[in-house]
Chain A
Amino acid sequence: MRWFETPNFDFIRMHNIAYFFSGALVVASIIAILTLGLNYGIDFRGGQEFVFEFEEPVNVIELRSELTEPLGSVPEIKLFGSEREILIRVDTEQDIAQTRDLILSEFSSLYPGNEVTIEKTDLVGPRFAEDLKVGALYSIIFALAVVFIYIFIRFKGWYYSAGAIVALAHDVLIVLGIFTVMAQFATFDVSINQAIIAALLTIVGYSLNDTVVVFDRIRENSIVYKTMEFTSMVNKSLNDTLSRTVITSVTTLFVVSVLFIFGGEVLKGFAFALVLGVILGTYSSLFIASSLVVELEKRAMKAKEK
């Protein structure tokens, strides 16, 4: 079987559409993040989180209203995989054992006879959450910086670095934007926690993989086809590597989808970020990163001529 054996798409010419499309998505994401705010999970916000498993299904809406008074604030309550499992997140400074006992005593009066077990509890202090948030931010910035420097050294041109970084930031921003919007209605946990940061960094790594393969081809082709115009050469490189880009994207998309469907409730948000990331990463490597390199190179040349 062969896909895209000798393709000849004009990726670079499509860049205006791509820029418009990506620009709109990025702007929408930024607006979503600024207006709705990033939906921080317990890792970055602090507080207490519990996952309970009941014998019989329970009503989330009813629970929310019943628990608001004893807890002193509206708790965040979600189903956790099935109708019998629920996740409760509480912003409180009181002792976690007290919160737990409070919730359990409400349960027993609300649902007498419905046995409940505690599957998971998390407590993150506000200061520690702040530390984790700063650490996460640094790690993303640091990762992008390392990528910039490495590509600069390996491909000897700042426009390669710039093209790659813009594409990566694009991927990360849009994933965050989608997560922010999805927080309004998603049926699984899409809060931004450490696992999502890990997913974002993996997306950075993955998207970069694709981009670097194309860059490598550009580097190689520029030696073989010395006289070819830069734009056509970049386009040729994109086409040369297209079949590989598609195949790898397909296999990776397979596995992250498997993870999303079968990986269990704990990994749902993480796997979902990866699914988005693989799609966006492939798209940005094909349509954004290389187009930017062409554009930046052109401008650099013009500046030189002057």
Chain B
Amino acid sequence: MKKQNNGFKIGTIVLFLGLTLYYLFPTIQWNLEQRHMNSMTEAERLQYESENRVKLQELRENALSLGLDLQGGMYVTLEVGTAQLVSELAGDFADESLEEIIDVARERSFEQGTDFIDEFVAEFESRDPDAMLSRYFRSDAAEITRRSTNEEITAYLQEQQAAAVDRAMEIIRSRVDRFGVTEPSILQQGSNRIVVELPGVDDEQRVRDLLRGTARLEFRLTPEAEEINTTKEQFADYFGNLLEEQEQDTTASDSAEVNTNEDEIPNLLEVFDLRGTNQYSFGYAAETDTATVNEWLAKEEVQEMIPRNMDLLWGAQPFATDSGLELYEMIAVRDQIELTGDVISEARVAFDPATNVPEVSMNMDSEGARRWARITGANIGKPVAIVLDGFVYSYPTVRSKINNGRSSISGLGGQAEASDLVNILMSGALPAPLDIIEERTVGASLGEASIQAGLYSIIFGLTVVALFMIIYYRTGGGIADLALIVNIIFILGILAAFQATLTLPGIAGIVLTIGMAVDANVLIFDRIREEMRGGKTLRAAIDNGYSNAMSAIVDANVTTFFVGIILYSFGVGPIKGFAVTLMAGIVASLFSAIVITRVIVDYLTRDKAAKVNFG
């Protein structure tokens, strides 16, 4: 009976050890390969990599992966802007009262951490219980008509939100793939958040732009020169008057203190030159002053001076004056959008043959090409503004009708910007804006330092605990130490099997497990000593020791395991890694402390006369 029992135990130990080694094998091999590759020269390494690409790829995928905090990289949580999505879904039906409700709901969901759509519907219904949401939303595809109930529309909005998140995930995945990151991870979190993990990325700004980039490409015409001039004159009059009033105020009051009122922004004419560089340019300002200009333009009385069908947009790139000052131009364009980026079927980086400056060359689909031909044909000799995300990139003058649907974006910051723009244009437009609500980056050097620190802690902690156990429990301690080492291997095996990532808190979890894993053995060995003090033989004491300690071990570990589950479900990123190692540690240490040590102790006492020293 007894023998059979141990046979089963030995069987499971062998099975688990086998499984662990199976799962850890790729990790070991991957590390050996890396060591091997690091010893090569750059050229050798590249050749070796290309020769063994498939094998290396497979190894890397199956190896125990390190968290971003250990290997360096970027971690971003994005939130899909549901408010804007709802506003866009309402489209032309949207009126001031709807925008107001959206604003209130956005504010409230932000403050209270509630779902935006719930707040939106609640606010809508609280204003007028009889009001129908169907006034604002229509969709043939979702069968939302004028007769749809508010519940149906709520469900429709939620569906649209889910669809927007799905679409955004897809787009981000394709952008990240094109960007070329090894082992990126893109996961949905909650109803409207997306977590993107990018190991080894060091150009954060580029990634930020890439993830958020909406690439709303628009082709717009420009107003007539007279129209622009009339508006400029109005501006000059209005701000000229303001300036005069200001001067009178200043001379009237104490002239020593000119700018006492800090809230007052400087007059537009002080920071903005209305002359412009050509007839379509509305004016220009230094970069530091653009915020002031925007502030003025947002004012209602200023907005009223601008004709309804005219928009004033900043240029994307500054131009330099002779004195080296960098100035941003403001360009007047029509508010009507002639053509959008939807018609772009292909985009690629090209170089201007004359200047060799990178630009993006685009092809349109047949429908787009037809409209493009019509627009260019009707506006020969006039400029067409190419607007991207609200900035004018260029406004070339149309020389002739363009029939082949070709167009290009120039005025870009460099080749990286050009290739990212191609990426964004090709992956499609995001259905709703994305906000970065969390961003963490860790440099590779800090990651390496963390790995070192973690390794030292494991080795040092293990040594101290192991020595202590041997000193205190003698042979028993030695057995527990053996179990402890197997335990650590098991933890790594479990992590590899579940494809978990090893993070710095995860390493801390392993170190902590080293201290706590011996607990089960301490309970058992103390019990054995106690039984022996009570006069039992060694064999009987061992039997009783193991069985009597069991309930305490189980209860103590089950509760800690619960804590691990809670930690896992609430924690994000590296903390999840800690919870995983904590739980893996509990399972592994129970197995090694109860089963493995028992088999060894039984083996050592197989002979009735044998002695095992428990200190």
A residues neighboring B (CB under 8 Å): 1-3, 5-6, 51, 53, 96-97, 117-125, 127-128, 130-132, 134-136, 138-139, 142-143, 146-147, 150-151, 154, 194-195, 197-198, 201-202, 204-206, 208-209, 212-213, 215-217, 219-220, 240-241, 243-244, 247-248, 250-256, 258-259, 262-264, 266-267, 270-271, 274
Which residues from A are CB-within-8-Å of B460? 258, 262
Whether B468 pairs with A254 at a CB distance below 8 angstroms is yes
B489 at the interface (CB under 8 A from A): no
Whether B464 pairs with A198 at a CB distance below 8 angstroms is no
Which residues from B are CB-within-8-Å of A215? 555
Give the complex CA separation of A216 and B555 in angstroms: 8
Decide yes or no: A146 and B566 within 8 Å by CB, A212-B559, A251-B468 being known contacts.
yes
Give the complex CA separation of A1 and B533 in angstroms: 15
B567 at the interface (CB under 8 A from A): yes
What DSSP secondary structure best describes chain A's contact surface? helix
Give the complex CA separation of A220 and B454 in angstroms: 40
Whether B563 pairs with A258 at a CB distance below 8 angstroms is no
Which residues from A are CB-within-8-Å of B582? 202, 205
Give the complex CA separation of A253 and B529 in angstroms: 24
Partner of A270, one of B204, B508, B560: B508
Whether B441 pairs with A120 at a CB distance below 8 angstroms is yes
Which residues from A are CB-within-8-Å of B440? 120-123
15 new A-B contacts, CB < 8 A, other than A123-B439, A198-B505, A248-B522, are A1-B471, A51-B446, A119-B445, A124-B437, A124-B438, A198-B575, A198-B578, A198-B579, A213-B552, A216-B556, A255-B514, A256-B511, A263-B508, A264-B452, A270-B505
Give the complex CA separation of A252 and B522 in angstroms: 12
What DSSP secondary structure best describes chain B's contact surface? helix
Which residues of B (453-484) have their CB < 8 Å from a CB of A? 453-454, 456-457, 460-461, 464-465, 468-469, 471-472
Whether A125 pairs with B437 at a CB distance below 8 angstroms is yes
Which residues from B are CB-within-8-Å of A123? 436, 438-440
B residues neighboring A (CB under 8 Å): 69, 77, 79, 110, 113, 204-205, 208, 435-443, 445-446, 449-450, 452-454, 456-457, 460-461, 464-465, 468-469, 471-472, 504-505, 508, 511-512, 514-516, 518-519, 522-523, 526, 529-530, 533, 548, 551-552, 555-560, 562-564, 566-567, 569-572, 574-575, 578-579, 582, 615
Give the complex CA separation of A255 and B517 in angstroms: 11
Partner of B559, one of A195, A197, A208, A244: A208
Decide yes or no: A256 and B446 within 8 Å by CB, A146-B566, A198-B579, A247-B472 being known contacts.
no
Partner of A266, one of B69, B511, B529, B571: B69
Whether A266 pairs with B504 at a CB distance below 8 angstroms is yes
Which residues from A are CB-within-8-Å of B569? 139
Decide yes or no: A252 and B559 within 8 Å by CB, A135-B570, A195-B505 being known contacts.
no
Give the complex CA separation of A1 and B615 in angstroms: 6
Which residues from A are CB-within-8-Å of B438? 123-125, 128
Partner of A121, one of B113, B204, B464, B551: B204
Which residues from B are CB-within-8-Å of A258? 457, 460-461, 464, 511
Which residues from B are CB-within-8-Å of A220? 548, 551
Decide yes or no: A264 and B559 within 8 Å by CB, A146-B566, A202-B582, A248-B516 being known contacts.
no
